[in-house]
Amino acid sequence: MKEYPAHIKKQIKAMQRDELTGYYVYKAIAKRMKNSENKSILERIAQQEKNHYDIWTSYLGELGSTYKIKVFIYKILNFLLGFTFTLKLMEMGEDKSKKFYESIGEYIDEAASIALEEDSHEIELIEMLDEERLNYVGSMVLGLNDALVELTGTLAGLTFALSDPLLISLSGLITGIAASLSMASSEYLSAKADNLPNAKKSAIYTGIAYIITVMLLVLPYLLIANKYISLSVMLGVVVLIILFFNYYISVAKSIPFKKRFWQMIFISFGVAIISFGIGTVIKIFLGVDA
């Protein structure tokens, strides 16, 4: 068996372990897949990962092990956020290994061909996957964005118009639930009018995104007695929701992150500031002190 410098052998072992980990992740996701075409694609990628693992094993002359924690984490992400996001996130991690391929290329001829497969073939296969929830991203954006803008403004205004955090939360909750039903029904009627398929699912995704956002924004007012601290926490939650959702979409749909993130931040906080002022004016001039 050919001997390699210590740092090269360490890199080969790391790549061997990554490929075996990828194999088990793809196999686990494929096992849960109901769509036969998606299942076939994932099994092909898994086999490719296994082939790469076998190549590294043949050079090292010893078997490798998996990153068990990584396999577990990717399984959880697949369950919570879907397979497209999970697999693309995993591939983003593998992009960092390009420099390893370059450094070991002078020792192993097959490194270049493996790098080429990692860069192109697997990405092409992942792009062929069809995940239902991603077909309704527009509906989720509609529900999420509308809830953020409306509830952020409503709660900010109520914070200065009313004194009791519980009253603020109940008012926001009633407003939010009513608005979510209105938004979902509007999405359904709009999709029906345009003769779009799955109008009911579009409405459901819109409504769910709206209600989840409402619950998260109202929660600080239910848990914290000081309404101004509640307002600060609520605005922090807004940032986290926008950050998480836009990161999810940017990875799953391969679209830019920063522009969409800052657009939603400016809109949500702009409405909150305006509503903040309106609430103050109402309290002063109408003498509201509930």
Q: For residue range 129-172, list pLDDT tens digits in order.
A: 666 667 677 677 767 777 887 788 888 878 877 778 888 888 88
> pLDDT band at residue 220, thresholds of 50, 70 and 90?
very high
Task: Inform me whether the pLDDT recorded for 209 exceeds 80.
Answer: yes
- Quote the CA–CA distance of 198 and 180 in Å, as a whole number: 19
Q: Which of 33-47, 53-67, 229-243, 259-273 has the lowest mean pLDDT?
A: 259-273
pLDDT at 1: 55
Q: What is the mean pLDDT of the chain?
A: 79
Task: Inform me whether the pLDDT recorded for 42 exceeds 80.
Answer: yes
pLDDT at 72: 92
> 154 and 175 in contact (C-beta within 8 Å)?
yes
Task: Inform me whether the pLDDT recorded for 4 exceeds 70.
Answer: no
Task: Inform me whether the pLDDT recorded for 74 exceeds 60.
Answer: yes
pLDDT at 102: 66
DSSP the chain: -----HHHHHHHHHHHHHHHHHHHHHHHHHHT--SHHHHHHHHHHHHHHHHHHHHHHHHHTS-----HHHHHHHHHHHHHH-HHHHHHHHHHHHHTTHHHHHHHTTT-TTHHHHHHIIIIIHHHHHHT---GGGGGHHHHHHHHHHHHHHHHHHHHHHHHH-S-HHHHHHHHHHHHHHHHHHHHHHHHHHHHHTT-TTHHHHHHHHHHHHHHHHHHHHHHHHH-S-HHHHHHHHHHHHHHHHHHHHHHHHHHTT--SHHHHHHHHHHHHHHHHHHHHHHHHHHHHH----
pLDDT at 233: 92
Domains in the chain: ranges and CATH: 6-130 (1.20.1260), 133-286 (no CATH)
Residues 44-64 have pLDDT tens digits of 888 888 988 888 888 877 888
